Structure 1
């Protein structure tokens, strides 16, 4: 069996998402050089950083974190693009394992009750075939021992892709709406909302406001990247 696996990788080697070099044993998604070159945010304070500050005056975010900075060019953009549009869900697993291990160690989200992904509209989900943050959330759930729930918050409006809109247009796009099926389920609970990238934060804010309809519900936010 090992021989067959080695032969398969000989003819179909796994390649680094960023630089296309062949990955060696123990490398996954990225080669070691590209991984070390990632633009880490290095946010030290989970209660006061660019993620939490993004929502000041709109909603209260207990804790927030993003692993990488997202820029117009570079490795983070390539990773997120391949995750969302090329079906490479291994990238979600990669980020989930990375952040899961880190957060299990530092215990920053130890009092969270549920991990909730930003949902796709059903039509978009059918077209893409997957939600790009599902694997991410499942791995976080594994490491943090917190339930991952992807069927309580639903998206009830569909928007065109945000990629080529200006920041002002994205922030002011008010058509994106969400619905929480069972508000009472989240009374007195702490929710960790997850997504791939924070751009303006408008989508995450809309999701959070649904949960804030529950009594004494607290919100924290975790993403793979933050737009610099």
Structure 2
């Protein structure tokens, strides 16, 4: 359903690559899956935009954000993400996918590193938001 909605918007349809917000290897091992990846897979199928889960990496395992205020969430996310293959994003429009947006600190941290490493534009989409 989200893919259909995004397909109705010309900005999202112009994306070159879909990138889900990554989990740290330790958390992925414990959970067994990355919900943002599952969401991105469905969007990729509907929109015919390639998905790449190897570009954006999570370098640091962070503690839960649920009990943090907006500023502390932002501080908790600084320097957490990196780019494994910057040549794949240079000059590209990235569609960054997450499951839930609360303050936007995670998406901001991801977008910043993508833009710093050469992405031309970063758009975001999430399945839900929390207040």
Fold conserved (TM > 0.5)? yes
In structure 1, list runs of 5 or more residues that go unmatched. 1-97
Q: Whose relative contact order is higher, 1 or 2, with alpha carbons under 8 Å and at least 6 apart?
A: 2
CA distance in 2, matches of 1:130, 1:189: 27
2:81 equivalent to 1:178? yes
Instruction: Note the C-alpha offset of 1:162.
Output: 1.5
2:60 equivalent to 1:157? yes
Give the equivalent residue in structure 2 for 1:110.
13
Question: Could you state the TM-score of these two structures normalised by the residue count of structure 2?
Answer: 0.89
Instruction: Note the C-alpha offset of 1:107.
Output: 3.7
Equivalent residues, number: 131
Instruction: Note the C-alpha offset of 1:106.
Output: 3.9
Instruction: Note the C-alpha offset of 1:149.
Output: 0.9
* Greater percentage in strand: 2
In structure 2, list runs of 5 or more residues that go unmatched. none
Q: Is the 8 A contact 1:176 1:203 kept in 2?
A: no
- The Cα RMSD (Å) is 1.8
Question: SS where residue 62 of structure 2 aligns?
Answer: coil
Q: Is the 8 A contact 2:55 2:86 kept in 1?
A: no
CA distance in 2, matches of 1:141, 1:106: 15
CA distance in 1, matches of 2:30, 2:84: 23
Give the equivalent residue in structure 2 for 1:145.
48
CA distance in 2, matches of 1:216, 1:164: 32
Q: Is the 8 A contact 2:21 2:107 kept in 1?
A: yes
Equivalences for 1:173-212 in 2 at 5 Å? 173-174=76-77, 177-212=80-115
